[in-house]
């Protein structure tokens, strides 16, 4: 009752490095998709150069050129569209993968909490069994002192009490683990 399932889920999700890795993969896939989208647009190119020509008919043999150019390879667009769609699908797959991992972690938390509850119930049951066996041993000792029960019956009750205590102690170990 003291364990809050929401806190356990949050703790489990924060402690999983594979979820952090998946988040990074999603960011990488988004960057790659953005790059593929940008490759569909025209390319802008800047240039600057110094030239020389030893032709003696020229007024000046040295000159500089500076400029910019735009180039768009229209025939290459279909070939670039397919990788763009592939990158977008990769982003979606990474998101789905993260969601599946998250669901798996939450399921593990719920199963672990149910397992813990079962172990607590088992311990309580075995504790009650031990108390009952201890009470039966005390009653057997009193009957033996009154002469109404043989020593072998007291020994048997003592063994039952020890076995119940051992099972209870095993349940404690399961509970602690």
Is pTM beyond 0.75? Reply is no
Q: Could you tell me which of 1, 29, 15 has the C-alpha nearest to residue 91? A: 29
Q: What value does the mean pLDDT take over residues 121-138?
A: 96
Q: What value does the mean pLDDT take over residues 45-66?
A: 88
- Higher-confidence position of 2 and 147: 147
Q: Is the pLDDT of residue 169 over 80?
A: yes
DSSP bridge pairs for 22: none
The DSSP result for 103-114, as a single string, is HHHHHHHHHHHH
The DSSP result for 113-171, as a single string, is HHHHHHHHHHHHHHHHHHHHHHHHHHHHHHHHHTTSS-HHHHHHHHHHHHHHHHHHHHH
Average pLDDT, the chain: 87
Q: Is the pLDDT of residue 1 over 70?
A: no
Close Cβ partners of 81 (under 8 Å, ≥ 6 residues apart): 40
Q: What is the pLDDT of residue 107?
A: 92
- pLDDT, tens digit, for every residue of 9-21? 888 888 888 888 8
Find where tokens 């032709």 sit. Answer: 55
Q: What is the pLDDT of residue 63?
A: 87
Q: What is the pLDDT of residue 150?
A: 94
């Amino acid at each position: 009752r003291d364990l809050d399932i929401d806190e356990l889920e949050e703790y489990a999700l924060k402690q999983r490095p594979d979820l952090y890795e998946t988040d990074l993969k999603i960011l990488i896939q988004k960057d790659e998709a953005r790059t593929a989208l940008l490759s569909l647009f025209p390319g802008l190119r800047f240039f600057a150069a110094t030239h020389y020509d030893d032709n003696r008919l020229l007024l000046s043999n040295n000159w500089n050129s500076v400029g910019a150019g735009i180039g768009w390879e229209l025939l290459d667009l279909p070939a670039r569209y397919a990788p763009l769609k592939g990158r977008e699908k990769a982003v979606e797959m990474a998101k789905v993968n993260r969601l599946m991992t998250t669901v798996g972690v939450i399921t593990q938390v719920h199963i672990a909490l149910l397992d813990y509850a079962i172990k607590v119930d088992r311990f309580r049951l075995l504790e009650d069994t031990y108390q009952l066996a201890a009470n039966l041993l005390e009653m057997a000792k009193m009957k033996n002192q009154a002469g109404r029960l043989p020593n072998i019956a007291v020994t048997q009750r003592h063994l039952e009490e020890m076995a119940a205590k051992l099972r209870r102690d095993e349940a404690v170990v399961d509970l602690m683990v």
